[in-house]
Amino acid sequence: MTNRRPEARPSPKVSDEVRKTTCYMCACRCGIDVHLQDGRVKYIEGNRDHPVNQGVLCAKGSAGIMQHYSPARLRAPLKRTGPRGSGQFEEITWDEAYEIAASWLEPIRATDPSKLAFFTGRDQSQSFTSFWAEAFGTPNYAAHGGFCSVNMAAAGIYTMGGAFWEFGQPDWDRTRLFMIFGVAEDHDSNPIKIGLGKLKKNGGRVIGVNPIRSGYNAIADDWIGITPGTDGLFILSMIHELLKAGKVDLDYLTRYTNAGFLVNDDPCDPDYGLFLRDGDGTAQVIDRATGKAAKYDAKGVRPDLAGHLRKGGVTYKPAFQLLAEKYLDPQYDAEKVAAQCGLTPERIRATAAELARVAFEEEITLDVEWTDWKGETHKTMTGRPVAFHAMRGISAHSNGFQTCRALHILQILLGSVEVPGGFRFKPPYPKPPESHPKPHAGHRPGKPLDGPHLGYPLGPEHLLLNEDGTPKRIDKAFTWENPFSAHGLMHMVISNAHAGDPYKIDTLFMYMANMAWNSTMNTSQVIDMLTDTDENGDYVIPHFIYSDAYSSETVAYADLVLPDTTYLERHDCISLLDRPICEAEAAADSIRWPVVEPDRDVKGFQSALCDLGARLGLPGFVNEDGSQKYRDYAHYMVSHERRPGVGPLAGWRGKDGDKGGRGEPNPDQIEKYIENGGFWLSHIPQNAQFYKPWNQHYQDWAVEIGLFDAAAPYVFNLYLEPLRKLQRAAEGHGDIQPPDHLREQVKSAMTPLPEWYEPFEEAVTDKDAYPLHALSQRPMHMYHSWGGQNAWLRQITGVNRLFVPRAVWEENGFAEGDDWAFVTSPHGRIKCRVARMDALNENTVWTWNAIGKKRGAWALAEDAQEATQSFLLNHLINELLPEKGDGRRWANSDPVTGQAAWFDLRVRIEKAPPGDHLAEPAHPAQASPVGVGPKDIAYGEEF
Amino acid sequence: MTTLPTSTEKKLGLAIDLDTCVGCHACVVSCKEWNTSNYGTPLSDEDAYGAEPHGTFLNRVHSFEAQPESGCSQTIHFPKSCLHCDDAPCVTVCPTGASYKRSEDGIVLVNEDDCMGCGLCAWACPYGARELDQLSGVMKKCTLCVDRIYNENIPEQDREPACVRSCPAGARHFGDFADPDSNVSKLVGERGGIDLMPEMGTKPVNKYLPPRLKDAPSEARLPETNKDAKGFLAWLDKALEAI
Amino acid sequence: MHPAPSVILFTSLSGLGFGLLAWLGLGLPAVTGWVAFVFYFIGYALAAGGLMISAFHLANPKNAIKSFSQWRSSWLSREAVMAVISLLVIAVHAIGTIFFSTRLPAIGALGTILALGTVFTTSMIYTQLKSVPRWNTPLTPILFQLWSLGGGGLLAGQFTAAAVLLTILGAVQVIAWKQGDAKGATGQSTIETATGLGRIGKTRLLEPPHTGENYLLKEMAFTVGRKHALKLRIIALICAVVLPVALIVAFPATHALALPVIALHIVGLLAARWLFFAEAAHVQRLYYGM
């Protein structure tokens, strides 16, 4: 009676064809094998050969089918017909869309290009979008780093010429102890997960520092549930303990850092705090052999790290001595700082001891001969198998820059950067601040900008200030408020443009940034700013062009929407000019290509910029005869040259495709990438794989491959002279000085050796009224607001709850189940669901990020749980601090970089009375230009 | 017949490492992705874009907290799918013969052409490993990717369950528990692999490798070499001399 | 467990039907002709009707016919087979009494045994489930038999015998409830044994695997409030046992009481059967922190 059973060894055909491209379900850039059947995407799996993910794939990547076929995909260019925010649009042609855009942009460019603010979000084509913005001539361009990671990036670049994030990695094969600070699971996630698995298999240990024990911290052998914003204090205390114990790598410090640089120690001297330099500007050290001043980079010179030198009546001391004197101060004693960090003194000392034990007692030696930049040959490579990684948890604070600096100094003192077992850079890093561009904002009507927008200032002379001291950029980047804002300040653009401070703009042009929702602070106010009208009834921000692939919240606020493709329908290059996919042992870049063609009237945003650039006649986008230069982005990818022989893609260059790195453009380059699985990889020679900043083999290889044009060895900056230059200006020296109200902030925040200070918002907040820290983390299976439209992922987390530590839970009388609370900050109040969590810092509440959605967005039903049950913490955060009573509004951001201080938020919580609950604030619904998704789905039925 | 084989030649299954699983749900979604367009009917989703989306998944990751007697609480991510029990109660209860345990490799399967959707097997399973697909009306469960592991259209190294293939941290191991020298048998031996709900007498094939001891106080101590800056500089001079 | 109306009705009605048929097989009451037809009609309507209702519980009923195949291992299959055999055997007996006024006592007795056997197979579907500790007890088949014979006795007009059986039923039902309560919802199983995390310490759910619903939760995570359950238990006992027995004792041999007594009993039966499902907890809920 029963049917025949399925055959014992079923061997069904998987698909008609596999096309290999690059994932874009998050910014991780994994290689994927896309299986197609009957022209439809049947299955996506990780590409085993790919350097980033080595075959594995995360939940987002595997849910790519649901993203690609999402009902929220935009179908055609949209022109707003209702008021902003209503979601009422009409579909128009691309020609009409370009015409509208050009009608706004052409007059701006002809008169004042700075009236355009062009900001991109999570795109990875910044070398291209910045090229467009430069050609347009507006100084107002940046990507989203200012509210994401600039503290980490800038502290890394300034201190050691490279940063965490995806720009470096632990030496996973050799690390014995891996310490992570504030690492959520959303960035570089597959490489880190692969690495953690490897580390665990090898018997290595993990120390997790995070107020919340989730994800990676859940599998940490030791969890340090630190109080938010105190990581810097904890790190400096460990430095104190290590110095007291003499557990620092002196050989490493003398060779590879500015520990021996002589610092002017005469408070009365105008150059107080600056390095002693010789006539050609080279920093001087005391040569231990002679006791005399010598160039730090002269062959054979071994600097002294203590002592002093008198010259011209001024006393100079080695930077390291200043460092030691500073951090040996009893104020950093574990006993003194432990309570503030939410830790015990024993825990701090034990952690420092464990770091020292592994670094110095489990030393590694590799029998690899190498030659350093001074020409000295070393028979072996010495490794300290302690590696660190850190992310937003320490950087999204108003003391984040100095905290990140402190962590790098700890790494360097242990001698564990760019050594076997330690933290390693991935090309194009290491690259010291001096080798990066300086910021530019010189704009003239009808002309391109005078240079790249963003860069790394080395002193007041590089700030972007007008003669009268006013900011040149709309986001006030590179001003005294945040001089080293290397990524710009996307989170300030809308509020500054709305306030007309420093000036008004005409057109806001954004890409892939959900600024009207989860990618902004104080969401409700940003919505008000976008919809606010002047006395004539015109919008205060007159024009808003937005490009997105999906019907996001922000789409509803745009006047003109340029529909982007899904990631499987587009060309992209993950370029060495930008954020490539390199490994510590290889240079690599990759592409996306349309593995399926769009079935809608949509266009990759970069291709649209090629069209629009040509229509506007932007230099670089038109040929000499005025015709369009790049047919589309793919054409740009293969034919554009940034420098002679160096273009967006490094692989298969040259007419015959036989050159790597440098070489003339190859029209068949993309075909070569596709043949190779979507990526290109070139291994770093074995003797160049460590000590990269000082390794002659690496420097030669980097020049050969085109990462830079001349060798640029450098030493790490324990002591950061550029910061001292800013302080010096604040003390009244030089032509460019901060305004009076900022002098104290510059003096206290720009210390050349990191100091810990209380986060700004905390310092001005009544801690009795707002006793709790509030954080958000991104779940590993979601990326920003994208995940919520995904039929599979939204089942995993469609409702977020505020996790509350046990004591607070009991104090408020919460009970398991359907419990709701009001959460109030100095800036606002929300209503949300709560849940208890025990493995949580006792003063911290937190939730998953970007789960809450606006009604009507993302093609979800208006009663979707994301809109009714879920919430954003963003409503409680402001880009400005609460009033201090001095008549000024101070930015809620890091004073060095301007990074948005998301994690300085303080709140109080109270139980909501029983009843029917909906999350608050509840915004009115926006109409959906794409309708609502289907009721039920059974994907795969047709196969 | 829904009687169980007295023994199976192989015992294919998974060893899941709770010390390594970071709770990323990669296995959950890759499982859904593979199985929705392969073995049997799709794994459907109802109200997919509505107020209460719910669909069929063969593998789900739960998160727990465990509080040791002293010290801080621990978070454990806990993936769970069919354990392919030797004494599988889900098989013997099946009235139609749809559920069966294979004598060659121990995999527990549902022949969807025979399933009448009574749901009794899901009741019999103590682990909640079977889900009745609401659109197709047939019982769904982990097949251990039977259509991958023997699939000659798939490269040999990929002939493993989709969840194992995708797991970024390498927390899932696939192998033959009947072979004492297999990767999974060795892991279970080394790490003290355990059964879930042993009191149910189901003799699960899948094993869980428990979390290693956490938050043990470090034995390392720093020497008190230098009391203050002055002492430090003296030490420094000597130490530099020694390099 | 989710108290699905189809399963409650199926087990209740078919239990009553087979109970009635069991009495009829013994010639109690010794009816023939039209009267016999009415009794058998009720018995068949309940037994077969219940079975048909159970089909509503199937998500894929087109394969229901296959459920006769696995009688060697599956109690559900055995139930299907037994139900058909007993209905066929009893039909022989019924035809004799209705159309030929002839009782075939051996066939009738066999029919009785088969009817009770069918009820036993039904009860074993639940009893066998270790995953539902409240059901996994010898009291479950005893209770099913008592409910079937007691209720069937009322239908068969065997009031005295029914009163005795119902009294026993009441006692056993109370013992079963108490025993079930004492066992705890999930018996020996705890969240610690379910996860193996007891070696670390007291374990609790931090986050469910999905914030959305799923089949398992809908089907097996039903909970009923303690107070609500107690109320229903009292209603079940009073309606199914106390009042019928009291009425029978107070007004012996009053046939006019048959209807209200039976109606009361069915109300009590449905309440008890609702509780049978609603109060039963499946151990897989432990993975959901329940």
Do residues A373 and A471 share a domain?
Answer: no
DSSP A882: P
Residue C251: the pLDDT is: 87
How high is the mean pLDDT of chain A? 96
Helix (H) and strand (E) counts in chain B? 7, 11
Is residue B176 situated within a structural domain?
Answer: yes
Closest partner CB to B60 (pick from C59, C210, C220): C210
Do residues A182 and A251 share a domain?
Answer: yes
> Whole-angstrom Cα distance, residue A138 to residue A485?
18
Contacting residues of A for B220, CB less than 8 Å apart: 350, 353-354, 356-357
Q: At what angle are helices A400-413 and A150-160 packed, to 10 degrees?
A: 40
- When scoring C200, C205, C206, C288 by the number of chain A Cβ atoms within 10 A, the one with the most, hence best to mutate, is C206
Domains held by chain C: number: 1
Q: What is the dihedral of CA A170, A175, A178, A184, to 10 degrees?
A: 40
**CATH code for position A110:** 3.40.50.740
List, for residues C135-154, the tens digit of each pLDDT value: 999 999 999 999 999 999 99
Helix (H) and strand (E) counts in chain C? 11, 1
B6 near C CB under 8 A:
no
- Residues in A 756-815 with any Cβ partner in C closer than 8 A: 794-800
Do residues A444 and A391 share a domain?
Answer: no
Residue % of chain C over a pLDDT of 90: 90
Q: Using DSSP bridges, classify how beta strands A543-548 and A772-777 pair: parallel, antiparallel or unpaired.
A: unpaired
In the listed set A563, A597, A618, which residue is the last one of a domain according to the structure? A563
> Whole-angstrom Cα distance, residue A920 to residue C30?
72
> Does C64 sit within 8 Å of B64, measured CB to CB?
no
A to C CB pairs, distance under 8 Å: 25
Is residue A606 situated within a structural domain?
Answer: no
Residue A185: the pLDDT is: 77
**CATH code for position A284:** 3.40.228.10
Residue A305's identity, in one-letter code, is L
**CATH code for position B172:** 3.30.70.20
Closest partner CB to C194 (pick from B61, B117, B197): B197
> Does B128 sit within 8 Å of C60, measured CB to CB?
no
Residue B2: the pLDDT is: 66
- Report residue A384 CA to chain centroid gap: 27
> Whole-angstrom Cα distance, residue A262 to residue A277?
8
ipTM of the shown complex: 0.97
Residue B103: the pLDDT is: 95
> Whole-angstrom Cα distance, residue C58 to residue B41?
17
> Does A939 sit within 8 Å of B37, measured CB to CB?
yes
Is residue B223 situated within a structural domain?
Answer: no
- Can you tell me which residue has the tokens 């139609």? B96
- When scoring A790, A796, A847, A860 by the number of chain C Cβ atoms within 10 A, the one with the most, hence best to mutate, is A796
Does the structure show a pLDDT above 70 at C244? yes
Chain B residue closest to C188 (CA)?
A: B199
Residues 6+ apart with CB under 8 A from C275: C224, C229, C232, C233, C236
Is residue A736 situated within a structural domain?
Answer: yes
Determine the distance in angstroms separating the CA of B148 from the nearest CA of chain C, rounded to an integer.
Answer: 25
CA max distance for chain A: 105
- When scoring B25, B123, B133, B134 by the number of chain C Cβ atoms within 10 A, the one with the most, hence best to mutate, is B123
Residue % of chain C over a pLDDT of 70: 100
Are the CB atoms for B41 and A942 separated by under 8 Å? no
Do residues A219 and A358 share a domain?
Answer: yes
> Whole-angstrom Cα distance, residue A530 to residue A527?
5
Are the CB atoms for A839 and B73 separated by under 8 Å? yes
> Whole-angstrom Cα distance, residue A496 to residue A500?
6
Average pLDDT over residues C10-21: 96
Closest partner CB to A328 (pick from B37, B217, B229): B229
Do residues A207 and A106 share a domain?
Answer: no
Is residue B220 situated within a structural domain?
Answer: no
B to C CB pairs, distance under 8 Å: 208
Residue A333: the pLDDT is: 96
> Whole-angstrom Cα distance, residue A796 to residue A866?
12
Contacting residues of C for B75, CB less than 8 Å apart: 206
A2 near C CB under 8 A:
yes
Count of other CB atoms within 10 angstroms of residue A815: 11
Determine the distance in angstroms separating the CA of A793 from the nearest CA of chain C, rounded to an integer.
Answer: 9
Residue C104: the pLDDT is: 93
Contacting residues of B for C73, CB less than 8 Å apart: 1-3, 91-92, 94
> What residue numbers bound the domain in which A187 lies?
164-428
Q: What is the dihedral of CA A782, A126, A427, A436, to 10 degrees?
A: -130
Is residue A881 situated within a structural domain?
Answer: no
> In the β-sheet with B12-17, what is the strand arrangement from edge to edge?
B172-176, B12-17, B207-209
Residue B1: the pLDDT is: 53
> What residue numbers bound the domain in which B145 lies?
12-209
What CA–CA distances, in Å, run from A816 to A834, A836, C209? 9, 8, 17
Beta bridge partners of A891: A880
Is residue B95 situated within a structural domain?
Answer: yes
Do residues A377 and A523 share a domain?
Answer: no
Contacting residues of A for C68, CB less than 8 Å apart: 1
> What residue numbers bound the domain in which C206 lies?
5-288
> Does A796 sit within 8 Å of C209, measured CB to CB?
yes
Is residue B7 situated within a structural domain?
Answer: no
Q: Could you tell me which residues of chain C have a Cβ less than 8 Å from any Cβ in chain A?
A: 65-66, 68-69, 204, 206-207, 209-212, 289
A551 near C CB under 8 A:
no
- Residues in A 371-430 with any Cβ partner in C closer than 8 A: none
Closest partner CB to A792 (pick from B32, B96, B165): B32
- A100, burial (CB in 10 Å: exposed 0-12, middle 13-18, buried 19+): middle
This model's pTM is above 0.95: yes
Residue A3: the pLDDT is: 67
Residue A123's identity, in one-letter code, is D
Average pLDDT over residues C173-195: 96
Contacting residues of B for A11, CB less than 8 Å apart: 147, 150-153
**Mean pLDDT split into 10-residue runs, chain A, 943 residues:** 79 96 95 97 98 97 97 98 98 98 98 98 90 98 90 97 93 98 86 97 97 97 97 98 97 98 96 97 97 95 96 96 96 97 96 97 97 96 97 95 98 98 97 97 98 98 97 98 96 95 97 92 94 97 98 98 98 94 96 98 98 98 97 98 96 95 96 98 97 97 93 97 98 96 96 97 94 96 91 97 97 89 96 97 96 97 96 94 85 95 96 92 95 97 90
Domains held by chain A: number: 3
CB burial readout A630-662, b (16+ within 10 A) else e: bebbbbbbbbbeeeeebbbbbbbbeeebebbbb
Determine the distance in angstroms separating the CA of A43 from the nearest CA of chain B, rounded to an integer.
Answer: 7
- Residues in B 150-189 with any Cβ partner in C closer than 8 A: none
Is residue A419 situated within a structural domain?
Answer: yes
Residue A511's identity, in one-letter code, is Y
> Does A2 sit within 8 Å of C211, measured CB to CB?
no
Helix (H) and strand (E) counts in chain A? 26, 34
Is residue A280 situated within a structural domain?
Answer: yes
Is residue A375 situated within a structural domain?
Answer: yes
Q: Can you list the residues of chain B whose pLDDT is less than 50?
A: none
Domains held by chain B: number: 1
Residues 6+ apart with CB under 8 A from C212: A794, A795, A798, A865, B52, B53, B54, B55
- Can you tell me which residue has the tokens 């409910």? C147
Residue A6: the pLDDT is: 86
In the listed set A507, A533, A563, which residue is the last one of a domain according to the structure? A563
- Residues in B 34-73 with any Cβ partner in C closer than 8 A: 52-57, 60-69
Residue A706's identity, in one-letter code, is G
In the listed set A512, A536, A563, which residue is the last one of a domain according to the structure? A563
Residue C61: the pLDDT is: 94
**CATH code for position C205:** 1.20.1630.10
